[in-house]
């Protein structure tokens, strides 16, 4: 597995993948929270150039839809939720309830929220676009301030 750090306009990210396939993005909220990658990971950005290029284009407002080769490793239910998330339009939002209905399981709002929280590729799989049924921001691994910043960024570039 190869990894590198990417400085977005809002926070630092750790991105990781192997064999040209992106597998993980982590938000690094401060220098003190930098996770220690496993010893068999290699710090090298060259295998991640396409992901870096597309993230740069996204953050500059030029890219609305990612076209990266990704690997989403999770339960069948999680993968179903993550697949539906990828269909959520740039600059728009969807509630947990709407997402549950979209996957054909309208009573699974909490399970959808749990799957959303375990998304290994935030931004690429846009879990920041999921909001509460009342329209308010709720739950996000990078924090609500970052979630709001990502939504504002997308709305500015629609």
Which H, E and C letters describe 74-125, residue by residue?
A: CCHHHHHHHHHHCCCCCCCCEEHHHHHHHCCCCCCHHHHHHHHHCCCCCCCC
Q: Tell me what pLDDT residue 18 has.
A: 94
- 68-108 residue pLDDT tens: 999 999 999 999 999 999 999 999 999 999 999 999 999 99
pTM as predicted: 0.91
Residue 127 appears among annotated catalytic residues: yes
Specify the pLDDT at position 34. Answer: 62
CA dist., res. 91 & res. 157, Å (int): 8
pLDDT of residue 33: 58
Q: Which residues of the chain are modeled with pLDDT < 70? A: 30-35
pLDDT at 7: 94
Catalytic-role residue among 11, 79, 127, 158:
127
pLDDT (0 to 100) of residue 125: 97
Question: Count of CB atoms within 10 A of residue 131's CB?
Answer: 19
């Amino acid at each position: 597995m190869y990894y590198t750090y990417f400085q977005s306009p809002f926070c630092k990210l750790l991105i990781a993948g192997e064999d040209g396939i992106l597998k993980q993005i982590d938000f690094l909220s401060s220098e003190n929270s930098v996770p220690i990658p496993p010893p068999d990971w290699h710090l090298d950005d060259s295998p991640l150039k396409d992901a870096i290029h597309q993230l740069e284009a996204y953050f500059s407002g030029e890219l609305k839809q990612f076209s990266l080769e990704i690997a989403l490793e999770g339960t069948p239910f999680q993968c179903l939720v993550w697949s539906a998330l990828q269909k959520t339009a740039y600059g728009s939002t969807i509630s947990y309830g709407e997402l549950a209905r979209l996957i054909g399981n309208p009573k699974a709002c909490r399970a959808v929220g749990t799957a959303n929280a375990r998304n290994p590729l935030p931004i690429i799989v846009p879990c920041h676009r999921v909001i509460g049924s009342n329209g308010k921001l709720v739950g996000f691994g990078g924090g609500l301030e970052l979630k709001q910043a990502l939504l504002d960024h997308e709305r500015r570039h629609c």
